Amino acid sequence: MEKRLEEMYFDEWRRWIGEKKVEMAMWHESPFGEGGYAFRHVSGLLVIVSIAEYVDRKVWIHLSASYRNRVPLHREMVDLKDLFIGKDKYAYAVYPPAEFYVNIHPNCLHLWSRCDGPALPEFSGFVPGIGGRSI
């Protein structure tokens, strides 16, 4: 039986994470749900990563990060994106309309990364009329 695209991306991601022995030394890993993994850092930070095909028929990496007593800082989310998704990949935080908002854990933030490349245009270029960069 042929592997589904999401399984191929997941296998590739597992190999990539497996090569990060030094960076992952302070993380405890365990399976989470169907096709996901939970990573607990010695600091108490919990990261859950899953890879799945969504309604757009694209395969996405979903990363959630939480502490018991506080929301992860922006710098921590950037570091998690680099570690679990890749420095060379795009990742997005999504703020949906209120009717679609889901809050299972009050201190949890999420990142999404499409496995086949960027899902949005490059916003860091020169912004006409402003005379600078947008990010």
Q: Which domains are seen in the chain, by residue range?
A: 5-118 (3.40.1720)
CA angle 93, 45, 72 (to 5 degrees): 40
Question: pLDDT tens digits, residue range 13-45?
Answer: 999 999 998 899 999 999 998 879 999 999 999
The proportion of the chain whose per-residue pLDDT surpasses 70, expressed as a percent, equals: 90
Q: How confident is the model at residue 126, as a pLDDT?
A: 62
Q: Which residue has the tokens 């007593």?
A: 69
CA distances from 75 to 71, 78, 80, 115 (A): 12, 5, 9, 23
Give the residue-averaged pLDDT of 48-54: 94
Instruction: Give every CB contact of residue 78 below 8 A, 6+ residues apart in sequence.
Output: none
Per-residue confidence at 116, pLDDT binned at 50, 70, 90?
very high
Low-confidence winner among 42-51, 100-109, 126-135 (lowest mean pLDDT): 126-135
Please check the confidence at residue 130 and state whether its pLDDT lies above 70.
Answer: no
